Amino acid sequence: MSWQGHGHPNVPGIHTAAQVAGWRLVTDAVHARGGVIFLQLWHTGRVAHSSHQSDGSAPVGPSAIAAQGTTLDRDFKPVPYELPRALQTAEIPALVDTWRRAAANAMAAGFDGVEIHGANGYLLEQFLQTRSNHRSDRYGGCIVNRCRLHLEIADAVAAEVGADRTGIRLSPWGIANDSGEADPLPLYSHLVRELAARRLVYLHLIEPRASGTGKADIVREGQPSAAATFRPLWPGVLIDAGGFDRDGALQAVRDGHADAVAFGRFFISNPDLPRRIELGLPFTPYHRPTFYGGGAAGYTDYLALDPALDPAAETATAA
C-alpha cells in the first residue's frame, strides 16, 4: 500500500505504476476463468521492520510502544520488533489518503474490490486496542476515538471505489502480533455497528481459535464465536475465517452465522479446494515451513487430486 506500510520480505505492493501493471496480469487471468478478486489493503504499523523501509526509517504506530516477539527482516532472519515512532496527529490525513490511493490503484489494476485489513495486530488494530494505543488526541482514549481511524479509512475508500466494492477484516478476540484487548466486546460492538451503517459490501471476521497469522497453528479453546457474536449487528454479507474444515464451514453457513467461509492455508495446499469441498474429498495438508520461503516450493507445487481439475496442469496443457 505504501513503503511505510511494508513490513515483511517479498510482500507485493500497490503503490507504483509497475505494481499496478503487474497486478493487471493477475486480475486478467482470474477474470478469464470467471473469478472475482479483491485486494487486501494492509499496513503493518509497529510490527514492520526498518530493513523493509526504503530509507531505513523506524516503523510507525499509534504510540511508541514496541510489540513483544520477533519478525522477519529483509533477509528472512528473525529479529526483535523495533520501537516504533508514534504517528503525529497531523500525519493522519495523509495516512488515510494512502488507503484511498491504494484502492484507486487496485481498481486501475482490475480488481473487483478491496478489503481493508483492520485485524491481526497490524496498524489499524494497533489504533483500536489499549495495549498499543496510549494516545491523548482524537485517535486515542475512549472507544469512539480509537475506532476513528478505521471509520475514516472506510469512508475514504468507499468514497473512492464505492461501498459495494469495499470490505473490511477484523479479529475481535485475536492475539496475533502482540495484540489483544482485555474486553473486546464493547470496542468491537461499537465498531461493527458504525461500519454496518456505512453499508460496506462485507464484514470479514477471524475466529479467535486462529490467532497465529501464519507463524504457528494456535488453537484457543473456549473462546466465543466471532461470527455468532456479531452476526446480529451486521445486516450485510458476513465472511468467517479461521481454523475451519469442510464440516465446520458448512455448519457455520447452515446455522446462519456466516454467508461464506474463507480458507487460507488449505487453499495454498489444495488448488482445487472448492471442488474437494463440493465432493467431500480430503484436504492435502499444508507445509508451514515453506510459507515464507520466497520461492515456488510450498506455494504453487501442490497438485489437485484429479490432474484434470488442476489449474496449473490445465494452463501447462494450453500453453
pLDDT in tens, 151-178: 999 999 999 999 999 999 999 999 999 9
Q: What percent of the chain is predicted at pLDDT more than 90?
A: 78
Residue 139 known to be catalytic: no
For residue 247, the surrounding DSSP H or E stretch is: helix 246-254
pLDDT value of residue 216: 56
> What number of other Cβ atoms are within 10 A of residue 174's Cβ?
29
Q: Domains in the chain and their CATH numbers?
A: 17-262 (3.20.20.70)
pTM of this prediction? 0.91
Which one is predicted more confidently, 60 or 308?
A: 60
Burial 213-246 (b: 16+ CB within 10 A, else e): bebeeeeeeeeebbbbbbbebbeeebbbbbbbeb
Q: How large is the average pLDDT for residues 254-283? A: 94
The answer to whether residues 158 and 245 touch, using CB atoms and an 8 Å cutoff, is: no
pLDDT in tens, 12-32: 999 999 999 999 999 999 999
pLDDT in tens, 33-43: 999 999 999 99
Mean pLDDT of the chain: 91
pLDDT value of residue 317: 33
Question: Is the pLDDT at 50 greater than 60, yes or no?
Answer: yes
Residue 176 bridge partners (DSSP): none
> Which of 81, 122, 139, 188 is an active site residue?
122
pLDDT in tens, 71-102: 989 998 999 999 999 999 999 999 999 999 99
pLDDT value of residue 150: 98
